[in-house]
Chain A
Amino acid sequence: MSDTITFTIDGVEIQGRRGQTILEAADDAGVYIPRLCAFKDLSPYGACRVCTVMANGRPQAACTQPIAEGMVVENDTEQLKKVRRDIVEMLFVEGNHFCMFCEKSGNCELQAMAYRLGIAAPKYPYLNPKREVDASHPDILVDHNRCILCARCVRASKDLDGKNVFQFIGRGPHKKVGVNAEANLSDTNADVTDKALDVCPVGALLRKRVGYAVPVGKRLYDLEPIGSDIEAKRAGQEK
């Protein structure tokens, strides 16, 4: 049996490897599918649903759905763009996201996604939830106001750091990232060198005292929209 699987995304033929998800195969082919919880070094999780595509006519999370021979995937359609905008807008109103003074601004995947999807302001009412800041750790700040429950820190702490510092607690609107300790992050073995700190897509998990060290104009998404690095691969392949 061949390891190569051929399928299409928006009518373009793509070659992937057996066992890859739609998202992985699309990344390799230089086709960007928007995502917030998926991260290259972490196992698929399917939390945010921003990567929703139509696979053989059914909505599927591209980050968890394996590719199959002859699969027809729709990605860049008006219908899916609307779905993604709605999801991202809901993420914005569900938390307290003040981009104007957030130190992650310009490096934030949520903000960059909103720009890429053309969201000027959410159409849903803000929920203005009361959330906590855990500043107890000497070198790490957790600002739950900005958390989008993507589980990247949960997965990275367990799988990359081998620590299990973070866990979800609560359900529904009460769900939040908790720490495996009696009270605060300072009671855990979290360390400033943990890989979990590198994967947060928003400004929820931060190294202290870094702040705005990178000037405007030099931040990750100041010049190119999110996903440009993946799309550049395709441009390279076409040359």
Chain B
Amino acid sequence: MSTNGMKKITIEPVTRVEGHGKVTILLDEQNQVKQARLHIVEFRGFERFVQGRPYWEVPVLVERLCGICPVSHHLAAAKAMDWIVGGENLTPTAEKMRRLMHYGQMFQSHALHFFHLCSPDLLFGFDADVAIRNVIGVAAKYPALAVQGVMMRKYGQELIKATAGKKIHGTGAIPGGINKNLSIAERDGFLKDLDQMVEWSRSALKIAKDYTVAHLDTLASFGSFESSHLSLVRADGAMDLYHGNLKAIDAEGNSIFDQVDYQNYLDYIREEVRPWSYMKFPFITSLGPEKGWYRVGPLARLNTCTFIDTPEAEAARKEFMALTDGKPNNITMAYHWARMIELLHSIEKIKALLHDADLQGTDLVTKGNRRDEAVGLIEAPRGTLFHHYRVNKNDQIVMANLIVSTTNNNEPMNRAVELVARQHLSGVKITEGLLNRVEVAIRAYDPCLSCATHALGKMPLEMEILDAEGNVLDRKAR
């Protein structure tokens, strides 16, 4: 396919991300990169087939979107349903059980991403042979690290099981509350391994920080660009991964909006549809579709919050922000460092919760006046997750809109791919170096592509170059 005398390069499949995608690089007549697109080729349709189902079923239905972070969908939908039943002011036990579930999820997801998906790039370098630059290679050369990754993931998964009932696709959060508390025996089981988890989180953070600082010369420009950032923050400006109000800042750190009640998100965020992708492009309404795109996830959260309310993560945040003199950090590869600060924050939160007697409370559910429309937001591991529903008088869903984290990062991922292609494409051939670097840039966002398109099918990703006449100049798939 050709577009206005341009040539096209496509990379698919992109490996070590969750889902399926395809990268196309469009060249102009001088064989310079004109545009790069990360296509998401799957279609999923959850927003359609949730229609007609009773609202209390939704938190358990929509979490089937994903096997990696179902808890995020479970909780975002449950938060929306809290609003529907007028039970948004949860009992202390319900809120703390849900927070424990969420921090457990954050902990296991960040550990999975760092140790098993991105560590091969950091430990072996972008140009290392793909035969060793993978999780098996990490296990062979750095067995202790690989084991830590597995054990940390397990710890998070066990927390999810204790709060949601199952490690994957649990039922814990129900409209207006939770269906169980944490037994003393369950709590003591977690306390036993807690100090080890804190220690391993510290060392993972150190690896990510040292790597970023040591390679700053190359990383600072690698797929990096100035952007706005968006996340939930607490009323006092603190990072809050479970609940808060919307805040957006520009690349300089100036406020675009702050403390916005997310029930009114439609007044601030819109979604643009582009014909070549199933994944929509959200943007901040006041800035328009051209300039209104923004980043979400660990990097954005570090940039938007004014402080972190756990001591070790706060100390780490200060170090992180010192790198850019307190201004927002726009370095794409700094996502990894930010993610590990959140890993430490999550385990600090888990520690505080496990010592809180409210988790053994028995007042689990609350209700109030029924509403017909609700929005539930949460900071998922990959970024801000929006769930929006309307319910009819018979308790059935009549409208659902989901803006998932990876969708929020759609434009930034496209920009990162385009930048890397400009920096590393020479000629019209897809070299290993280019393929690797495009993947590394995408992977920094920890995208979950199947989730973002509400997709049917599975991941891999390919890359293709097409010329002005629509001829495939090169094509690569791992």
Contact = CB atoms under 8 A, between A and B. Distances in A.
Nearest to B161: A216
A121 interface: no
B21 interface: no
Nearest to A206: B54
Contacts of A103: 56-57, 60
A169 interface: no
Contacts of A218: 180
A174 interface: no
30 contacts: A100-B169, A101-B57, A101-B60, A101-B61, A101-B64, A103-B56, A103-B60, A133-B52, A133-B53, A133-B54, A133-B396, A135-B396, A141-B54, A209-B56, A209-B85, A209-B395, A210-B56, A211-B56, A211-B174, A211-B175, A212-B171, A212-B174, A214-B179, A215-B165, A215-B172, A215-B179, A215-B180, A216-B165, A216-B170, A218-B180
Contacts of A136: 394
B166 interface: yes
Nearest to A102: B57
Nearest to A186: B394
B54 A135 contact: yes
Contact of B165 (A100, A211, A217): A217
A213 interface: yes
Contacts of B395: 135, 141, 208-209
B90 to A, nearest CB: 15
Interface residues of A, number: 18
Nearest to B58: A101
B449 to A, nearest CB: 22
Interface in B148-186: 164-166, 169-172, 174-175, 179-180
Interface in A186-239: 208-218
Contacts of A209: 56, 85, 175, 395
B183 to A, nearest CB: 11
A14 B394 CA distance: 51
Interface string B174-203: 110001100000000000000000000000
A136 B395 CA distance: 9
Contacts of A215: 165, 171-172, 179-180
A213 B56 CA distance: 10
B20 to A, nearest CB: 22
Nearest to B56: A211
- Which A-B residue pairs are the 4 nearest by beta carbons? A216-B165, A211-B56, A135-B394, A212-B171
Interface in B372-420: 394-396
A100 B62 CA distance: 11
A101 to B, nearest CB: 4
Nearest to A100: B64
Interface of A: 100-101, 103, 133, 135-136, 141, 208-218
A210 B394 CA distance: 15
Interface in B53-76: 53-54, 56-57, 60-61, 64
A100 to B, nearest CB: 6
A212 B179 contact: yes
A215 B172 CA distance: 7
Given A100-B64, A101-B64, A211-B174, A216 B166 contact: yes
A133 B180 CA distance: 29
B394 A212 contact: no
A208 B61 CA distance: 16
Nearest to B52: A133
Contacts of A211: 54, 56-57, 174-175
Contacts of B54: 133, 135, 141, 208, 211
B52 A216 contact: no
Contacts of B166: 216
Contacts of B57: 101, 103, 211
A100 B64 CA distance: 8
A217 B172 CA distance: 11
Contacts of B85: 209
Contacts of B179: 212-215
Nearest to A98: B61
Given A213-B179, A216-B170, 16 more contacts: A101-B61, A133-B54, A135-B394, A141-B395, A208-B54, A210-B56, A211-B54, A211-B56, A211-B174, A212-B179, A214-B179, A215-B171, A215-B180, A216-B165, A216-B166, A218-B180
A184 B200 CA distance: 59
B411 to A, nearest CB: 32
A128 to B, nearest CB: 12
Interface string B232-256: 0000000000000000000000000
B302 to A, nearest CB: 35
Contacts of A214: 179
A119 B288 CA distance: 54
Contacts of B170: 216
Contacts of A212: 56, 60, 171, 174, 179
Contacts of B165: 215-217
Contacts of B180: 215, 218
Given A103-B56, A103-B57, A141-B54, A216 B394 contact: no
Centre residue among B61, B170, B394, B395 by max chain A CB count within 10 A: B394
A66 B470 CA distance: 78
A84 to B, nearest CB: 28
B162 to A, nearest CB: 10
A146 B186 CA distance: 35
Contacts of B61: 101
A210 B64 CA distance: 20
